[in-house]
Amino acid sequence: MMNRDECFQILKRHITDEVVVASYSGAVEWNDLNPRALNYFSIGAMGLGSSHALGLALGRPDRRIVVLDGDGSLLMNLGSLVSIAAAAPKNLVHFVCQNECYEANGGHPLPNPNVDFAGLARSAGYAEVYDFSELSAFEQQVGHVLTQSGPVFATLRVQKNRPLIYKYDDLYKASRRVALKAALQGRHAPQ
């Protein structure tokens, strides 16, 4: 199993002008690691990170959209896999951090920790599907994963993480949405 922080450190080296949609624990860690205008945090609507990413991918086909989802979040909205596959956005890359629990809600275990998310995405019709449990393999292949024609899905099998502090007021700041909108329009957000 991998450490999500280490996976995100590796991913960060490959992120340039992509929009990164992150939910709950992934959002907290991604924001700590890589605060930037092109981050979109999907918090408060558990499970909708993948749906938000789909909307952005369809609305901005000129820009790659990367979603950092959690296994608990995705279980709340499994139908999004079918919707994403049917819409077939070429610019969507969907990572799911599988730590076998609802981490943001106290670490309660998933009903079936052995669920095969990559298999579900493949069955739904994602164009490319990956499953990583070794950091060296992820590091070697992540650049390739990010350049594939989508929708692309990758499971990151990670350990439960340290307790996180969820600063919702910071993640929900209106200035973040203003900055994202400005960045997508190619201008700087007002300070």
pLDDT of residue 88: 98
- At 36, is the pLDDT very low, low, confident or very high (cuts 50, 70, 90)? very high
Mean pLDDT of 79-94: 98
Structure-token match 């749906």, residue found: 51
Convert the pLDDT of each residue in 172-191 to its tens digit. 788 888 888 889 888 665 54
Over the chain, what is the mean pLDDT? 87
DSSP 65: E
Task: Tell me the C-alpha distance between 140 and 168, whole Å.
Answer: 34
Convert the pLDDT of each residue in 63-86 to its tens digit. 999 999 988 889 889 999 999 999
Mean pLDDT of 123-151: 97
pLDDT of residue 180: 87
Q: What are the domain boundaries of the chain?
A: 4-184
Task: Tell me the C-alpha distance between 29 and 76, whole Å.
Answer: 21
Task: Tell me the C-alpha distance between 94 and 146, whole Å.
Answer: 10
DSSP 103: G
Element at 177 (helix H, strand E):
helix 174-184
> According to CATH, what is the number of the domain 4-184?
3.40.50.970
